[in-house]
């Protein structure tokens, strides 16, 4: 049985109740990877094929942003925003001020993303019909 990427959001939610910075940073990261993998699964099922020379993350959010569908564009915006938060949580070694708030916002964004993705027509995004 394939892995359910929604489990990453459940882990993020549990970690967001902790007080230590590491748990909160991981919560941000898992919220992002939940939506990234759900978005990727949908795009691949509609014909997306990864191209070399660009990060798979940048490609994924571009696939959604290039869609004429306004919901796909919103999903791209949420994805990019969470990607930036995830990169900060995963790579910056400076103290992460208000990481507890960032974790809560990341989880709320992920929930919103999932609701919108679930409401999206199954044929979307359609990478075959877009110029990339």
Check whether 132 has a pLDDT greater than 50: no
DSSP 29: H
Structural domain includes residue 41: yes
Structural domain includes residue 1: no
Mean pLDDT of the 66-79 span: 97
Check whether 90 has a pLDDT greater than 50: yes
Mean pLDDT of the 19-23 span: 96
Indicate which CATH number applies to the domain containing 35.
1.20.120
Mean pLDDT of the 70-90 span: 97
What does the buried/exposed string (b/e) look like for 49-83 if buried means 16 or more CB atoms within 10 Å of the residue's CB?
Answer: eeeeeeeebebbbbbbbbbeeebbebbbebbbbbb
Confidence at residue 73, expressed as pLDDT on a 0 to 100 scale: 97
Instruction: List the domain range (segments joined by +) for residue 65.
Output: 6-126
Query: Structurally, how many domains does the chain consist of?
Result: 1
């Amino acid at each position: 049985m394939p892995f359910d990427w929604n489990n990453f959001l459940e882990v993020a939610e549990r970690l967001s109740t902790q007080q230590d910075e590491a748990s909160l940073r991981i919560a941000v990261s898992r919220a992002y990877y939940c939506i990234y993998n759900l978005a990727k699964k949908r795009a691949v099922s509609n014909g997306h094929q990864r191209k070399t020379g660009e990060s798979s993350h940048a490609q994924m959010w571009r696939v959604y942003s290039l869609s004429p569908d306004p919901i796909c564009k919103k999903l791209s915006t949420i994805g990019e925003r969470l990607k930036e938060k995830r990169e900060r949580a995963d790579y910056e070694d400076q103290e992460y001020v208000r990481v507890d708030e960032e974790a809560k916002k990341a989880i709320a964004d992920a929930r919103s993303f999932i609701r919108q993705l679930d409401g999206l027509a199954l044929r979307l995004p359609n990478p075959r019909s877009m110029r990339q």
